[in-house]
Every structure is written in structure tokens, then in C-alpha cells.
Structure 1
């Protein structure tokens, strides 16, 4: 006898997304059909109405999210009075009048769930707990945990609390929301991402970006569309991040994409918004009439070419950007799906700067065998296209710089229609020509496939196998025409570049998680294995001297430079592996005394043969004081937990072959009139190369007052990073090469983080919640040497001021923090307009008599204090969100002022109006005073920003297919209160030269957004 295949509840309601899932799980369904032979769920025979076979009762089990039965859950028929209650095992049964009846499941502390009965006799329900400060679930390494039992420093931000309005990446969603996580947006380049600094700078040469995991798989801040993110969790301290070993030193950001929880009818959500921008602040350069006054005064370098041109206006526009996000989701008790499509068309303030991205994602989850087996398939990625303003990048810095400094009396084109150019000046080019005589495009694609199989053989034990492949491809092309400045300056006569990059990252992880409660003891054990392989490939080629511009970069072999042996080519490939074994124990006694211990042993092919493996232990403990008898009756203290932890994490170097001897084939020597390729050493082998190791201690307290009307946390931490990687000079011989990368330095960061959340007003029609967070960090370099490798001077210099000054910007010195500006301290100006500086003896001296040892610390570019203030107000159908933030206790090197407030630069173009202001109230600088890096150009950088204001209205709807409709408007970077004279004091805080306001940086903007979202 032929038996019909059982159909999961709600299957026939699914659309194309669910149909795709049929291809994935059809075999599993066949297995389930065999195992469930004779059970309910079969369709009636063809030709017989299904209602004749309808049973009058529905039964099932109601559980929580972990699968624990819930007794006392109320079940009723919507619109009727009859109902039922679950028994001690969570079981229930209830009579229903017809197939269209809707069952309502409600229980104190859980979200009420409504389910249409349909053609079912068995209906099992999972209720989701209402989130409070105590039972809120946060994502931790390889799992989740209730906030009440967390013993480490973890911050969690849900989607409803994200920064509203237009954002470019995931980090901007939590800007100002997490104490100690500093998210900086230094410019408005549409292809840039935010800079992240978590608890200070911890490295000298390695990367500073945190590990970003999207649904457990490594990615970047732009791997997923911001509108498709459900929550972001930040593992801040070492005891939380140690489970990730070598990748956890800079912190871990766990991004969870939107999911379907429980039975959900097919739902369509649409969110769309349009934005425009304006430049935040224009630097006050001279216009044409003011410049002509300099010509009339006979100032050296000033020439009047007869035109009136606003060059900044010529290279900028009023951009209009659009974002569309469409999400389809639904599910039954056994099968859920979500399909999301996001399209972003971002226009930049500068002409031709753009960024077009398409993000597709589809995820399907299926439960079978009574929920014991769970299958999840996730397919996502993006396609990105943007104009390449320079070779391989979207933005060419000298376009903006020349837009400020090009002579305002010069026309854009001369009378013959040619671009006006002056090749006799250094670093001086027509900015419109640089844009228009360039053709370039970058095309990037990312495909991420992720699958998990989770098996629960016994209650409390979950065994999960995760496999993923992340494939990234980039194809780039760039061309400078025969009319480009490079032809006039360098004789290129048409220049082309072509290149491609491919990165493949494969990940396989097997984990087992076991939860067990024995009387008042709760145990959670995690064990796992992780294998990751990364393969990177890149090549590029260049050519110039083309017969025509018609081919652009698409016929690169037509250039003559390659045939003459002048054009370079390069290709490269690398591969590395990372293998880890890890274990974690979480223990709770009476929900009062908490313990977490973890250990990860990890091996990497990037390190020397003597240090392939490293150990990364962590331990933390907590005391839920509120659960003690002496506080149980307190009406003031509703939550109080003391916690402390210690953990060790590591940092990988970027280059996978630094521990090996490498040869260089790029040099040639002339022997007997013939150029012969020479093989020479490129690096020294270092078999002792190992991880940078960060040891961190964290002590914190979580609190809640007056029934959690006020909640928050306080953390104090100290982190010491040892075995920092640096390049050291070594003798040759015995070494083959004169430098070696080795682990020898150490650094300290310590600080305080404080957060308070206050539900100020909580009424039916009026609600106001406010939060304030503060963080401070102190950084100090402890050492630059060890017993094997020494830096005798005890310091090294970093950064450069560019020509014509060409001096180091910062000094990295033992006993001092990273970010110290190092230069001459200006104290006065003499009667002839020349700088007077302070000598090493503290006495003033002419700058012409400067000595290297006259330099001193002039300030520091790392803010010592960060303060963020967030407010959310709702009144009836209106809502208002205001985000404010600030940074204090730091200085900025104003390089635009240093270069363009000096009269001598008139020979290179336009100047700031302040170039002829009195210095120290005496007189302007002399016309021939050379450019100098002095303290006069270092300014206080403190600022306070009204960062975002969003006003929304939820339109009331009745008798319509639209379930929800919201319109909103938003403004970002609206106002900045600062004494800094530059464009924007929000500048980079990473690397060894923080606080540098680059004169070439893409300008900052104020953004205005109008959006609508609705649900069907």
C-alpha cells in the first residue's frame, strides 16, 4: 500500500523560499516518514473532503526555548471562553470547533503565541521568555547564556536598540551603545567602514580589528547588510574572548542575523529609505577676490589667471542614496525560513564616488525526529561595484586636496577646451581633470555557504557539526587617459592597471554542549574542535603608452611599456591553517555562586616550528548577591552581581610566512654588460616566532534598582600584552638579512567602564528610557626588548608629515603611551616672522638653530575619556531617538592648517584665510618661513556631538492587509561642539599615529534620511 509523505505543519503555506528547502531536506523527510509510520499528519485520500476526517481535539506539549516542559500554561480559543491548562509535564489537550480556530498560548514571563489549528491533531509549542535584565539571553562564544549567569564582560545590543537612520556597516549600529567600544567614522567615503577601538591599542605591528563572527563564521563589518542583523554581542574581556584563542586579543563581535522563532505565519517586511548629505564644515580658504588681493600685494607665488572658480563646488555634489530591504519569513513548529534581499546604492559627496551593494540571504531550519535533529542551511553573500578613483581604491586623496588648494582664479578649462594644469608645481593638479580623465571600476563578490547539523541524543546534550565556505573575489581595473595629469607629468601617455584577488576560507567545527541540573547544581559543559584553512591569491599588471584611450583598461597588452620592459607585473599566493581544541565549564549553585573556566589549545601554520601551538586559558567567577537571603526582600536592589575574571588571548600576524627564510628575485645586477637576475634573502627565519599574548584581568558588577527601573554595570580592567611583534635590526652575519620579525615588546592598558540605563517614564502612552555610558583607558609601553632582541634607544618614531616637511609624527617610547606627538614646541615668533621654539634646556631659540634633541612630547592623539548619552521616547504612535557622544582628553595634529596656513605654500596654490593672521598676537609668518611641524598646529580635540536624531510615526491601521506601517526621518552628525578648527574632530584612533587629521581625507558630512517600513 502506498503511503503519503507526511507534510510538516504550515508547509503548504510556504512560497518559493520553502520550495528551495524541499531540495535540501527531501531525503530527511523520507527518513522521518519511515520513522513516523502510522502517526498523525497524513493527508486524507484524494477526493474526500479533509473536514470529514477532522478530529475534535488537539493535544501537544508546551516547552520553553531549551525544551523544558512548562506546567500551567493557559490555552484558549481566540474569541471563545473555553480553554485548557498544561499539566506538570507540559501536556495539554483541547477541543476546537473547526480548522480555522486560533489557539492562544499564554504564560507569565513568556511571550504570548497565537497559532491557527489547521489540519492538525498534534501541536507542540515553544514559548519564548519575555526579555528582562535577568533572563535576557546573550550570545557568548559557541553558544548563548542568560545574562544573570554571565561572569565575564559582555555587552549585548538588540535590533530595537540599534542606532536609527542611515548606517554603512554593522559597527555603526552600536555606536555609542557599548561602554569601551569606540566606533569612529572619520569621513563620509561610501566605501569606508567604521574604525573600532576596544579597550585601547594592544599591538605595534599586527592588526587592531576585532574578530567579527556572523552566525558563528568569521566575516567583516560589511559581510552582512545592517538591516538584516538581529543582535550584536561584544566579548570585551579576556575571560570572555579566550575561547577564540589567537583571534581574541582585539575583542570579539558576534553578529546574529534575523531568525524565525517558533510558529510564524508567512510575513513580508519592507524597509526603504533615501538619504542626502551636505559637507559638515568647509575649511575657510580664500575665494578668487581675496586671492587677487594677494596678487595685488605682490605676494610671491600669487598669479591671477582671470577666472573665478570654486573648485570644491566643481568636484562635489548633492548626493542621493537609496536603500531597500525586503524580508520574507515564516515557519511551522518543524520548519522555518527567512529570505532577505538588501540593495544599497550609495552616492558620495565627491563626484563619481559611489558604492552599489546587493546582499541576498536565505536560511532554512528544519527540526525532525521530535526535535532531536535540527538542520540549518544558510546561503548569503554580496555583490559590490564602485568607481575606482585610483588604482585599486575608490578615493583619490589629492582630488579633495587640490579642490581646496587649486588657484581660484584658474578656469577649469582654457579657451581651447584643455584642462588647466601647472606641471611646474609639486603635488598640484586640476582636481576636475583627475576625476574626469580617469576610468576605473572595482567589482567584488562574496559567497558564504553555511550549514549546521545539531543532534540531541538525550535531553541536555547537543552535538553540532558546522561547516562553511567563504569565497571572496575581486576584479579591478583602472585607467588614466592621455589627457590625464600623469601624461603631462610623467609621460605615461595612457596608463592601465588590472588585478584580481581571490580568498577562500573553509571552516569546520564540531562541538558538544551538555547541560545538567542536579538538585541545586547547574552544569554546562562545552567541548569542541575547530579547523580553518585560508587561501589567498592575488595578481596585478600595469602598462602604459597606449595608442588610443578607446580600450580603457580592457586591452592592457596594447601598451608599449610592457614591451620595453618598463611595466611591472606581480602575482602572489599564500595559505595558512589554524586548528584549535577547546573546552568550557559553566557552573551555578543555587543561582548564587557562578563559575566559568575555559581552555583552548590552538596551532597555526603562521608560526615558527618551535611555537606551532599555544595555550589560552580563562577563568571567571560571579556572585549573585541579590539571591542571598539578606537581599531577597529588598525593595530597592532588584539585581546585584559581582564578577571577576582572567583570560589569555592571542594575536596572529598578517603574513603567514614570517617565520621562514624567504628569497627575493626582484633585483638585478649588471655583469659583462648584461642584466642578470639576482637571488638574495628577503627575510630571516625565526623558528621561535609566536603569538602576541594578552593577559587580562577584569572585575565588574552588574546592578538593578527599584524592580530594574535602573540597571547597569561597572568594570575595571588591566590588560598586559606580551611578546609583541616588531622588526629588529640584527647583524649580518650571522643573519642573512639585516632585520628580523620577533616577539620582544610588551604593553599595558587599564581602564574603567560604566553604564547606567534608566526607565525614566513607563506609562501606557508615554515611555522614556535613557542610558549613559562612560569609559577611560590608559596606555603604556612597558618594554621594547627581551634577552634576545634589543632596541637600545628605547624608542622608535612612526608616521610622517609628508613632503616638504618630512618629519616623523609620533614617538613610541618605553614608559609612554602610544600616540604621543613628537616635535618642536613653538613658544613665540620673532620680529621678522620666524618661529621661536623651546630648546632641550627649556630656553627659547630660533627654529633655524634646531637640533634633533630639542624635540619633545607635544600631546597625545588617543582620547582618555569617552561619554555616550542615548535617549528613546515614545508617545502614543510617535517615537523619538536621540544619540549623543563625545571624546575628551586628546589632541589633534591639524595638517591642513600646518600646510595651508603658512604663506610659503602660496607657491603651491591657494591658502587658508588665516595664513596671514598674527601669530601669538604679533605678526604673520614670514613669506619665506619654511613649513615646520611645531606645536602651534596641535589643537585640543575634545568634542561633543549630537550624533543622531530620529523621529518616527507608527500609522494606525484597521481592516487592511498591512499589519504595520512606520514612517520616519533621521539626521546624523547634526552638530559638533568643539574648539577644534578643522573639519571634524572625529578622526582615526587606530595604529601608531592616532590624532592625525589627514589633509587628504574624504570630507565629513551631515546626513538626512527619510524612510518607510511596513509589514504584510
Structure 2
């Protein structure tokens, strides 16, 4: 209950009547101040207050009401028309008064249950430090006092003259005395829990340094869907990544910048191609279909992080649990990434920022391949082992001489350059930010390149006291060339690993080297020839814009309306020349051009309500959203070009139109209603409830609407009275929640039967000499199809200790996907029509997330910070078809080389193949092996062949012996950040790691297979060539009937690795003599400097292929790109 007001105002010179006796100190003070007219007001406890444009007198009255303290002040000190904005949440009286009064030079003193306001000294405030004007003196002693915002002196604050060893600490009352080298002197003040301050002090003038509390994790504002929350009030699982974390190690692509910075967030870079788009997953693979998180940029759902300049980022939130993500409903099953870009601020002078860096790139490692003479030796040995005459071709000494290291020819030292410019400013009513960005990288592979141009304009406008407008605009252009690298039998990287080292890039006649001399050289083309004569250029234009209006209906209620637009235009140009001299020939040159465009329009309107009353605090948001997406796609191809020079190829010059494909327009619409309620009591008991309803055009009318609820609760135990004596604990919160999310990222129109009408694909009838186009069903309908659903449970503990120097977060989660869409099993009489997906499958991901943070400022000028995050994760497909049915993946080569299968009660995309038990060392071992008595291969098995395990004991090695070989999904994902600073120097490292997953080295499986006519891994020299010479690499043979190189555990490898993602050394250059420059930093940064791994391939970081049905399978994946950059960043 609040106490009843008691206000008494007397004329000047009189003593106010008080409704109760004051202590003697207060009586004497009031009697002395006979010229002061005083207002007195009374009321009750901790302060929670949020007001816009409120009168100071009303604010003070409300503080008095909530605190129970009397507040006395001269009426002239607080003019009745003085107005301000206030946002106080659970603050102490002293903290609340400091936040309200400091800007108006009003001091206060607390005596018993009374607060007396007095006029403060009007001394300059610089970066939170009250400072007197400077004059020039020599050799001096400076004095002063350090206090907190409540006016209380702070003990043991480190006081040090900048760029010297002169230092001291404050006494118990906060006073200090420091001998400095000259006057004025630049002195720094630092203490745990407070922002580091820097002030110029003059001898003879005592300075008051007011330490501003560091923004602790509990005070941090976190962006959530359609609003913000203080982290201390947050009950969901949200990780925040700040601009400072990204700028300390600038990387050209935003997705790669996030690697290792958040628990639960797995980013698989996939290799060193500059245009490579990493795989992003939050809390594991949620489906056999799309597992990409929803990306929201400044409130507008977008497709890719690739389209954002990392330098434009203000902060990023990763919504990991259902409670926080449920407000995005049917698109949030795989988590949500909210991106907030930088803006200007009202009243901010113009600030200019420049960031430029340049560097070189190189391949991280190369594979060991056979030299020409060793290759000839092993080729001959094949025939000898099989007892057949060797091919006389290998007697030609020409092919025993090395002429080309194809990896050296394929890889190059690349380069990159980046330039970012930005201007931000703000006046009384408007603020803006404008930025331009340019990034250009020549990749480590010949012809590979990536270029990005970006522009941004963000602005805020105060139209009236009640109406505000927020505008965002970004444009992004990307241009890249990506050679085909991981395609089996056709990628240029695969070709470079297989092409014969005796063949030159170009011969003495200036002709391209070729393998066409003999089939023994392999049916592949010169990879450098292909890179030099083909064109695979891509272009992409992206525009994202939004306008938000905000109207203050009342002090507590706001209306917001948001209109967003995203447009995307993609063009691909693929030119392939005629080929007559290489093994794989093409009669005519061909040019294919693909154009794809899409645009999305978003309209949203919602109400935002926030109110504090007593110990209660309520935030609510409710609204509706409409989104429409349209697109079209067309591919045209012409063949026959007289001039095949790349700079002369024009589409219209082609002789014949080969095909026209596509030209579709499938609109997608999403209608939604959403609401969220946040309630807090006494800043201790927290509750969040969320609901979203979505209607999607991807599903059949009548089945389009789904409902996605979420709720969570938290208890801040640290706010309980029984925790008051635990001084080292700043904040302790337990929280838990549950929610339901959806995934609508499925193929369009599956609820309809698709009929094609043309003469292609056999859709034709013959009448005499004429062919007449017909129609046929190409895809069956499933009218009952609906979205996949994910239910998630989340339990966690958040803690802040030792005055904010240590933070800890531990979370357990259980993520269960149901109604997972997979093709149904049907009988063969259905025919060739595509079977639509059905809501059949179920999957579970569960585990732990741990985040730790520590920072320390030492008295000797050293500072350090440490960040650690660990995700422990398990995956299992809990329901599929039953009856031991499975979903298979792509084949690698032959049928016996299928690698990944997804079975019920097994991890997604597990490796399945044959177990091995070494090699047969002699004929006696073969004769004694009863497990191959019934095996049709028995007559073909010889010493040096693989001994496969007869799992079911039926005396033969067949499909029934195929078993689980490994799980490509890691059990643990690690991120570790370490920063060390000293007097302007800063060293920062970011390490990432993955543990517990296996990899299948399919390229090694083929690179050791002598039945192919290609070059092989140098490891083949360790093959079996006599009893006891090897028990792992089989003999050389031309025969495939022994199946030595079918899918087996011989090629399953440990996928553990630790990678030094970035290492940055920077120096903050003193700028005192260059007043127009506020800050200048020079830095050198390395990316992907080393990888610790036992994996034998290029790169242990291998993502998905064939959707999510295959992971960790290496088809000669792109190696890491090591980068060294030198940069300069300055603000003025």
C-alpha cells in the first residue's frame, strides 16, 4: 500500500510544517535555509518507472511514492515546466535519483528517511567524468575524489597518468593524490564494475570523477521479436553478439564472423571458396529438409546473411528456444537470427568512420599424391597381381617423368581488399547513418573471385511529441565466379587430384595438355584448360527497405506500423566451349543464362504496451502481419558459337536455341496474428507468454492455419532477502520454458497434382509422321500436407558474479520435431510420378549449452577478457517408415559405395557400410575363413584383399552385413575467445572446435582405388605387396569383384578438430596531437591460421550435401583459405 500524500508549502522565510518529527540535523538545515521555499512529499520502495516527456515534479513525486522517502527541494531548483524521459526498472533510490538528476546538475543528500536536493557545481561532463577547464603548468600534483553516481566515494580505484608509470589508488573515502609529469595531465581511472574513465586534470583544481557503472549483462538490452527486453528480465534462451565482437576481427562475410561466438550456433564454413555460403544451424539439424534459421534484418525477414556488410552491424541476437522464437511461428522451428544495424543518435555531432584492410590468401594444406614414376610402378603392379599382361603403354618413359604438380597449378596466392565508410549524425529532430562498403577477393583457386558492393541509409525522425518515423535501406551487389569443385567426376579440384602428373599444362606447341593419348590416363579433362576456357559468372542484386511509424497513444501505449520490402535479382552465366582435344568432348559451344527474380512485401501493425505499477511491471505486444512473396525463374540455352573467346560471347550470337526452362510464378502468402506478454513482480518473478497464428498458402485451403504457443518463467533468486549476505553474487536466475514452432520451408503446391503438357519427357503421341504433344501426371497430390512442428523444452541458470567480472549461463534443451516431411513409400504401380512428401517422420535433438565470460582490469595497465562456449548435442531420428526402411542419399560412384543412410532410432545421415578385419595376408587365411564359404566373391579373393566381417554369420558378405559405421553429427561444438590488452595494445584470438563426429573420406576411398585409370594418393605406396606389409591398404588390382573399395570403416575418420579462426594484434595510436581524429587503430589479423586435426583430407569442416541427408562426406571438398590482413581503422 502506498502512503497518503502530505504536501505543505510555506512562504519564503518560514519553516514548513512536517507531518512527523525530523532528526536534529534536518531541523538545523531547514532553519538555516530561511530563504528556501520547500515542497515536501511522502511515499514507498524500489523504483520502477517509465515515462515519456513527463514533468520532473511528477517524476519526483512518483519516486517519493514508491520509495517512502521525503524529498525536499527549492521550487526554483526544479522548474514546473521541466520535462524528461525516464526508464527506471528495479533501481535503488540512490541509483534512480542519480539517473534522474545528474544531467541537471542537481545533487542530493540522504538523511535518515529524507532526501534534500541542492544545486550542484556546473563543471563540464566528459564521457561520464566531471572535469574542470585545463590550463598549462609544469611538474604537478593532482588531487580529487572518485565517487559513484550516488555520490558515495569509491575505494581502491586505480588512478594512473596515461603513458607513464605514475599511479596510485583511492582511499576509503575515494580521495586520491597523484604526482604527475606535467600539468595538465591525462589520468585514467579504472575499477571492476565501472567503465574506464580518462580525464585531463590541472594542478590546484580538485576534480570530481564520477564512475559510470559498466553495462553489466543484466542491464544489457536484448532485441527480441517486435521489441526489446533487459537481459535480467529475459526468460528465454537468447545469445547476443555485439559489434565490438565482430570489429575486433573483421571478416568479409558475416556468417563466418559469427563462428564460435555463441553456444548452440553451429556454422560450418565448408572451405576456402570466397563465395561459399556457410551452413548455419541452431541446436542441431531439426529436419531432413531445410534446417536454416529465419534471418530478420531490422524487422524484415530476409534470406541470407551474405547480403549484409559486417561493418554495418550493431548487434545480433540468436533466438534459440521456443519461448523466444514462438512469436515468429511457422518459420521459427530452426531458430531465429535477429540483425540490428547501426544508426545515428539525436544530438550527435557528425562522426566519420573508416575501416580499410588488405591482405593475401593461400591454401591451408595440400594432399600428397603420387609422383609420375611411382604411379607407373603401381599401374604395372596391378597387372602383375592379377596375373594378366600389363599394358605396354606404361613402358613409355615419357609418363614416368613429372611435369606438372596439378595442385600447384590449380591453387594460387589470392588477395583481398576491403573499404568501409560511414557517417552518423543527429540533430534535435532527426538522426541518420550512411555507409558504403566494398569487398573484393581473388580466391585461392584459379579463376575464383568474389566482389561485394553495399550501401546503407538508416534514419530516425521525431515528427511530433507523439509521432516518430524509423527508416532503413540497404542495397547489396555481389559478383562471383565459383568453379565446380565438389562434383564427383567433374569438379576441377577432383580433376586436379586425378590428372596424370606427367602431362604438361600446355605442350611445346602451345596446345593444352590432354589425357587423350590413351584410356589408361583416365577419362578426364585438363582442369586448367577448363578453368581458362569456361565462364561460370554469377551476379546478385539485393535491396531491403523498411519504414516504421510509431505513435504514442498514451505514455504507456504505442502503436507501430511497419512496411518492408525485399527484392532480389540473380543472374547466372555458364559458358562451355566446344571440346575436341580432351577426353570428355563437346561438339558445340553452349551458353546458358539463368535469370531469377523475387520480391517480398511485408505489412505489420501492432500495439506495444508498457506499464509499471508498484512492484509490478507489464509489457505486452499484439498485432497482425501480412507477407507476400512472388518470383519467376527462366533458363535459356543456345549452342553453336563461331568465336568462342570469352570476351566475345553474346547470347544472341548462338546458332541454335537449345532449350527454354522454367518461367514460373508461384506466389507465396503468409497471414499472421501474434501476441506476447511479459510480466514481472518485484524484479524477481518473471513470466513470458507468446502466441502466434499463421496461415500459409503453401498448404491446402482449410488446412492452412496453425497455432504456435510459447511460455517461460524465471526466478531471480539473487533478489530474495535471504541472498543479501552473499556479496560475490550479483545476479542469479533460474528459468524454464516450453513452446511449439513450425517449419513451412517445403516445396510449393504439393497439395495439387502437377500435370505437364509438352512433347518432352515422353509426353507425346504419334499420328502417322506427326508427333502431337500430350499430358501426363508428373507429381501426385497430398491434400493433407502441413508444416513440420517442433516442440522445445528449455531449462537454464544465469549467473553474474564478482561485480560483473564473471558471467555464467548453463542451459538444457530438448527439441522434438514431429510431422517431418518425407516421401511416402508407395507401390510400384504408381509409376514414374513424383511422390509428394507426407508428414511421417519425427526427430529429436537434445543437449546442453554452457557459456562463461570473465574480464579483469589490472592496476599495472593490463586487461584481459575470456569467453567460452560449449554445446553438447545429440541427434536421433525417432520415427521414420518402420520395418527397417531408410532414406538413402546420393551414390558415390557404384551402388556398393552408397555412404549415408537415415534409419529410425539412429542419428541423421549416419554412415552405413561394411566392417573390416584387416587384410588377408596369405592364401591359408582365405581358405580357413568360413565366413565366405557361401560368398560369390570367394574365387576372386586373393592375399592382400580386405577381410570383411560376416555380421549375421550366413557365410557370405552381402547387403545383410551392412551396418552402422559412424555419426557425422558432432557431439560437442566449442568456441573460445581470449583478449589481452596493455597500454593501447590488444591481442585477440578466437578458436573454434568440433568433437565427437566422424567423417567419411570418399575422395580417399577413390584415391586409393587402383581400378580407376587416375592418379592416386601417395599413401598407396604403403599398400599390401606381400605378407605382413600392410593390414589397412589393400593390394593393387584392376579387378572390382573383390569390392575392396566399397563403403567400409577403412575410410571413416575422426572428425575432431580445433581451428584458430582468427588472431588479431592491434594498436590504438595516440591521437592527442591530431585533434580531428577521435580514435585510430592499426591491426594485423590472421584467419584460419592453423587447424589441429588427424583428418587426412583437405578440410575436416565438412557440411551437408543432398539436403540434410548426407553430412561429413568428403568429395574433395575445398581446402581452408588462410588469410593475413593489414588494416587501419579510424574515427573522426
* TM-score, with length taken from structure 1: 0.85
Preserved contact between residue 251 and residue 257 of structure 2 (Cα < 8 Å): yes
Give yes or no for the alignment of 1:418 onto 2:511.
Answer: yes
- 2:839 aligns to what? 743
Preserved contact between residue 74 and residue 84 of structure 1 (Cα < 8 Å): no
- 1:569 aligns to what? 661
Superposed CA offset, 1:717-736 (max 9, x none): 11111111111133588999
Structure with bigger RCO (C-alpha 8 Å, 6+ apart): 1
Of the three residues 330, 338, 343, the one matched with 1:246 is 330
Superposed CA offset, 1:417-461 (max 9, x none): 221223546651101101011134222111122111111121122
Of the three residues 691, 695, 709, the one matched with 1:617 is 709
- 1:650 aligns to what? 742
Q: CA deviation at 1:271?
A: 0.7
Of the three residues 823, 827, 836, the one matched with 2:917 is 827
CA 1:85–1:983: 2 relative to 1, 3 Å? same
Report the secondary structure of 2:1003's partner residue: helix
Report the secondary structure of 2:643's partner residue: coil
Report the secondary structure of 1:620's partner residue: strand
Superposed CA offset, 1:354-388 (max 9, x none): 01110100111111323x21112222121111235
Of the three residues 576, 579, 592, the one matched with 2:684 is 592
Give yes or no for the alignment of 1:399 onto 2:492.
Answer: yes
Give yes or no for the alignment of 1:152 onto 2:236.
Answer: yes
- 2:1092 aligns to what? 977
Preserved contact between residue 862 and residue 891 of structure 1 (Cα < 8 Å): yes
Of the three residues 144, 149, 154, the one matched with 1:108 is 149
Preserved contact between residue 358 and residue 384 of structure 1 (Cα < 8 Å): yes
Determine the C-alpha separation between the residues in 1 that align with 2:834 and 2:1088: 48
Q: CA deviation at 1:858?
A: 0.6
Q: CA deviation at 1:504?
A: 0.3
Report the secondary structure of 1:264's partner residue: coil
Of the three residues 984, 991, 995, the one matched with 1:877 is 984
Determine the C-alpha separation between the residues in 2 that align with 1:633 and 1:813: 55
- 1:495 aligns to what? 590
Q: CA deviation at 1:884?
A: 1.7
Give yes or no for the alignment of 1:956 onto 2:1046.
Answer: no
Determine the C-alpha separation between the residues in 2 that align with 1:646 and 1:971: 42
Superposed CA offset, 1:924-949 (max 9, x none): 42322533221101111112222221
Determine the C-alpha separation between the residues in 1 that align with 2:605 and 2:1033: 72
Of the three residues 192, 204, 218, the one matched with 2:301 is 218
- 2:883 aligns to what? 793
- 1:52 aligns to what? none
Preserved contact between residue 496 and residue 553 of structure 1 (Cα < 8 Å): no
CA 1:390–1:735: 2 relative to 1, 3 Å? closer
Preserved contact between residue 524 and residue 583 of structure 2 (Cα < 8 Å): no
- 1:208 aligns to what? 291
Q: CA deviation at 1:875?
A: 1.0
- 1:921 aligns to what? 1031
Determine the C-alpha separation between the residues in 2 that align with 1:357 and 1:103: 37
Superposed CA offset, 1:697-735 (max 9, x none): 111110122223221111111111111111113358899
Determine the C-alpha separation between the residues in 2 that align with 1:414 and 1:543: 32
Preserved contact between residue 363 and residue 411 of structure 2 (Cα < 8 Å): no
Of the three residues 893, 909, 913, the one matched with 1:803 is 893
CA 1:436–1:732: 2 relative to 1, 3 Å? closer
CA 1:428–1:483: 2 relative to 1, 3 Å? closer
Preserved contact between residue 275 and residue 321 of structure 1 (Cα < 8 Å): yes
Give yes or no for the alignment of 1:1013 onto 2:1129.
Answer: yes
Give yes or no for the alignment of 1:183 onto 2:267.
Answer: yes
Give yes or no for the alignment of 1:940 onto 2:1045.
Answer: no
CA 1:971–1:922: 2 relative to 1, 3 Å? closer
Q: CA deviation at 1:344?
A: 0.4
Determine the C-alpha separation between the residues in 1 that align with 2:693 and 2:987: 48
Q: CA deviation at 1:348?
A: 0.5
Q: CA deviation at 1:901?
A: 1.7
5+ residue gaps in structure 1? 1-56, 115-126, 785-790
5+ residue gaps in structure 2? 1-78, 131-147, 151-193, 199-210, 384-389, 923-942
Preserved contact between residue 346 and residue 426 of structure 2 (Cα < 8 Å): yes
Q: CA deviation at 1:632?
A: 2.2
Q: CA deviation at 1:532?
A: 0.6
Q: CA deviation at 1:561?
A: 4.4
Q: CA deviation at 1:178?
A: 1.1
User: 1:244-393 residue pairs with structure 2 within 5 A?
Assistant: 244-291=328-375, 293-294=377-378, 304-305=398-399, 308-370=403-465, 372-387=466-481, 389=483
Q: CA deviation at 1:656?
A: 2.1
Give yes or no for the alignment of 1:863 onto 2:970.
Answer: yes
Determine the C-alpha separation between the residues in 2 that align with 1:91 and 1:419: 89
The number of residues matched between the two structures is 924
**Between 581-590 and 806-815, the greater mean CA deviation after superposition:** 806-815
- 1:710 aligns to what? 806
Q: CA deviation at 1:165?
A: 3.0
User: 1:95-134 residue pairs with structure 2 within 5 A?
Assistant: 108=149, 130-134=214-218
Determine the C-alpha separation between the residues in 2 that align with 1:276 and 1:146: 42
Report the secondary structure of 1:746's partner residue: strand
Q: CA deviation at 1:337?
A: 0.7
- 1:63 aligns to what? 85
Report the secondary structure of 2:722's partner residue: helix
- 1:17 aligns to what? none
Determine the C-alpha separation between the residues in 1 that align with 2:754 and 2:688: 44
Report the secondary structure of 1:903's partner residue: coil
**Between 327-336 and 151-160, the greater mean CA deviation after superposition:** 327-336
Determine the C-alpha separation between the residues in 1 that align with 2:236 and 2:1090: 36
Determine the C-alpha separation between the residues in 1 that align with 2:346 and 2:656: 64
User: 1:690-705 residue pairs with structure 2 within 5 A?
Assistant: 690-705=786-801
Q: CA deviation at 1:673?
A: 3.6
Of the three residues 781, 785, 803, the one matched with 1:685 is 781
- 2:1119 aligns to what? 1003
Determine the C-alpha separation between the residues in 2 that align with 1:397 and 1:656: 31
- 1:660 aligns to what? 752
Q: CA RMSD in A?
A: 3.4
Determine the C-alpha separation between the residues in 1 that align with 2:278 and 2:580: 32
Max radius of gyration: which structure? 2
**Between 746-755 and 596-605, the greater mean CA deviation after superposition:** 746-755
Q: CA deviation at 1:334?
A: 2.2
